[in-house]
Amino acid sequence: DSKRAGKLQLSFYNPVMQEQALHSVRLEKELRLALEQQQFFLVYQPVVSLTNGRVEKFEALLRWHQPGQGVQSPGHFIAVAELTGLIVPIGYWVIEAACGFVQRQMQTGRTVKPVAVNLSVCQLREASFAEKVQALLARLKVPPELLELEITESMLMENVDLAMVLIENLKRLGIRISIDDFGTGYSSLSQLRQLPVNALKIDRSFIRELETSPVDQQMVEAITAMVHKLGLRVVAEGIETEQQMWLLRDIGCDHGQGFLFARPLALEQALQYRGHDALRAITGARPGHPCG
Ligand code: C2E
Ligand code: MG
Ligand code: MG
Ligand code: MG
């Protein structure tokens, strides 16, 4: 009967759920320790202009040097950090470290490129988020226009009104905003039109099979045209091949990011990165010449 079936199900699922719960509890403890003991670090992936191959900005990506386990990517720990609220203090650490990267660039004497930081929805829910970021920038003497915050489209849609107010506050401070993973959420044109954002990043899932998928090409063309009408920049994520790069350039995508240009780089390597030679070459820029 149904009672027995229920019991059977419970005894079947319990060990798995228990294992997952234990894993989360362990991970939470380790993440707390990680923050105290400075086990986090950032890597920086360049975003390149598809018109001239130069670096437009860098995206800061979080990594965790988990003792005995090597370097962990966010996929391994972000979910638990979000569930436990630990992403809030970790998130401030990320912004501060990213500002440190901007300061390092300032010391080199070359043109300083903005740095983009990913946000989780719990960070947006903190009422004082914008003021805290403003205070942090002031303390570190980093101009707000050198910081960009990435908010995913699905995060935006979870609470449009809250996101709108927050984006407006951040925007007023001079901080730039971009919409990440675009095309995977369900925002409408009218919602997009109202948002004071700077750029929109087309999700990697549209780029992955671009060469062989006319539908994906049409999607990227449509998104690009629409976003340009709104006066915003378009960034394509996850560019891995030259062919994808040329296609996106022909479509009119402004910027690109992906393994073709560079993997996420350690700070010192990021400071050395000078852009993409083939793109620079066709616009007459001297390949390898420092971008100023
Ligand atoms: P995202 O913001 O969409 O970041 C892009 C992800 O795609 C990064 O993975 C990057 O390494 C990867 N990627 C870049 N180019 C390519 C490519 O050509 N091919 C492929 N296959 N992958 C590429 P990563 O670093 O593992 O980060 C995954 C996600 O974790 C990020 O997606 C972002 O949502 C989140 N995340 C990263 N850092 C932070 C952080 O500091 N705070 C928060 N809240 N989330 C973060
Ligand atoms: Mg991102
Ligand atoms: Mg993304
Ligand atoms: Mg993504």
Mean confidence (pLDDT) of the chain: 91
CA distance 91 to 209: 33
- Residue nearest ligand 1's atom 34 by CA: 118
Answer yes or no: is the ipTM higher than 0.90. yes
The answer to whether the CB of 178 is under 6 A from ligand 1 is no
Please give the angle made by the CA atoms of 252, 47 and 289, to the nearest 5 degrees: 95
CA distance 60 to 73: 12
Residue 289: its pLDDT value, please?
Answer: 44
Atom of ligand 1 nearest to the CA of 74: 30
Q: What is the 3-state secondary structure (H, E, C) of 85-154?
A: CCHHHHHHHHHHHHHHHHHHHHHHCCCCCCEEEECCHHHHHCCCHHHHHHHHHHHHCCCHHHEEEEEEHH
CA distance 259 to 269: 15
pLDDT: which is higher, 20 or 77? 77
CB within 5 A of ion ligand 4: which residues?
Answer: 181
Q: Are 176 and 145 contacting, i.e. CB atoms less than 8 angstroms apart? A: yes
Of 49-53, 179-183, 282-286, where does mean pLDDT reach its minimum?
Answer: 282-286
Ligand 2 midpoint to CA 120 (Å): 10
Q: Between β-strands 147-152 and 115-118, what pairing exists: parallel, antiparallel or unpaired?
A: parallel
Tokens of 34: 């990680």
The helix/strand/coil state of 225 is helix
Ligand 2 midpoint to CA 148 (Å): 10
Q: Between β-strands 233-236 and 115-118, what pairing exists: parallel, antiparallel or unpaired?
A: unpaired
The answer to whether the CB of 74 is under 6 A from ligand 1 is yes
Q: Residue 78 CA: which ligand is closest?
A: 1
Residue 12: its pLDDT value, please?
Answer: 55
Confidence of residue 291 (pLDDT cuts 50, 70, 90): very low
Task: Look at the alpha carbons of 242, 74, 60, 183 in this order and tell me if their dihedral is positive or negative.
Answer: positive
- pLDDT tens for 123-179 read 988 889 999 999 999 999 999 999 999 999 988 888 888 888 999 999 999 999 999
Whole-prediction pTM value?
A: 0.92
